[in-house]
């Protein structure tokens, strides 16, 4: 018997057994990596233990883990829309690097990528590339009410999930729109300079203002 789960069709999309496995592995590894990153690496492990591990891991999985994976799934959805054969593949070496770097207090996360094949126009390539950052922008808006609700009802965990969800998604949108190397921004810019400017400039301003200046997402007990 194979250890790979069976393929499934979810919401009109087909996911092979290998793809499902890779998505789960990437989600869990990213959750662990960001759990360590948010407490400053190995020096903050005591804070994780004091909180009981479950809560810190759940916060990381529901914020960073979801942000990264829905970014990749957005690429897949648009690629399939353009009649591509598209599947996510985890990069185990990069996931290992993410966990190891997080223990040192910083993080480099590249969980894998959606690989697709078929004939595409530059416009279609641009749409597929833009889908990932766009998904992060939408997710940031989804997490915003959770942050506000947490403050209203006095729930530190809900506020933490909301703040980290907003911060991570804003940062991911801006970072991936940098027009360099394999990042989405290079493909978007190659397709349409105006679309890239309209997407990149607001994302960078939000990331700088909220994350780097405002420190959003880095508070909390863990």
Q: In terms of residue numbers, what domain contains 70?
A: 13-213
* Separation CA 151–CA 129 (nearest Å): 35
In a domain, 5, yes or no: no
Please count the structural domains in the chain. 1
Q: For residue 220, what are its two tokens?
A: 């909390």
Are the C-beta atoms of 127 and 190 separated by less than 8 Å? no
pLDDT of residue 39: 93
pLDDT of residue 164: 96
* Separation CA 190–CA 180 (nearest Å): 11
In a domain, 26, yes or no: yes
pLDDT of residue 24: 96
In a domain, 92, yes or no: yes
In a domain, 222, yes or no: no
In a domain, 179, yes or no: yes
Give the pLDDT means over successive 10-residue stretches in the chain (222 positions): 75 92 97 95 94 95 96 97 95 96 92 91 97 98 94 91 96 96 95 98 96 88 88
Angstrom distances, CA of residue 137 to CA of 86, 133, 159, 191 = 22, 6, 19, 20
Show contacts of 194-201: CB within 8 Å, 24+ apart: 195/126, 195/130, 199/130, 199/133, 199/134, 200/174
- Burial label, 12 (beta-carbon count in 10 A; 0-12, 13-18, 19+): exposed
In a domain, 167, yes or no: yes
In a domain, 3, yes or no: no
Q: What is the DSSP string of the chain?
A: --SSPPPEEETTEEE-HHHHHHHHHHHHHHHHHHHHHTTTGGGGHHHHHHHTSHHHHHHHIIIIIHHHHHHHHHHHHHHHHTT-EEEEEE-HHHHHHHHHHHHTT------EEEEEES---HHHHHHHHHHHHHHHHHHHHHHHHHHHHHHHHT-HHHHHHHHHHHHHHHHHHHHHTS-STTSHHHHHHHH-HHHHHHHHHHHHHHIIIIIIIT-TT--S--
pLDDT of residue 6: 84
Q: Which of 152, 163, 150, 176 is nearest to 214 (CA)?
A: 163
pLDDT of residue 180: 92
In a domain, 195, yes or no: yes
């Amino acid at each position: 018997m194979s250890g790979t789960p069976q393929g499934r069709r979810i919401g009109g999309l087909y996911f092979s057994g290998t793809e499902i496995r890779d998505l789960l592995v990437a989600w869990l590894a990213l959750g662990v990596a960001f759990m360590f990153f948010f407490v400053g690496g190995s020096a903050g492990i005591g804070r994780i233990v004091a909180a009981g591990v479950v809560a810190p891991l759940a916060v990381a999985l529901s914020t960073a883990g979801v942000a990264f994976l829905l970014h990749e799934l957005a690429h897949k959805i648009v690629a399939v829309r353009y009649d591509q054969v598209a599947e996510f593949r985890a990069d185990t070496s990069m996931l290992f690097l993410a966990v190891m770097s997080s223990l040192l207090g910083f993080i480099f996360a590249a969980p894998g990528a959606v690989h697709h094949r078929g004939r595409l126009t530059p416009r279609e390539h641009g749409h597929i590339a833009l889908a990932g950052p766009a998904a992060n922008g939408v997710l940031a808006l989804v997490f915003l009410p959770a942050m506000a609700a947490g403050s209203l009802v006095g729930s530190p965990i809900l506020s933490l999930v909301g703040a980290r969800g907003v911060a991570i998604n804003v940062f991911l949108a801006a970072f991936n729109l940098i027009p360099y190397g394999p990042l989405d921004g290079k493909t978007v810019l190659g397709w349409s300079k105006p679309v890239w400017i309209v997407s990149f400039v607001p994302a960078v301003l939000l990331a700088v203002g909220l994350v780097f200046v405002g420190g959003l997402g880095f508070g909390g007990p863990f």
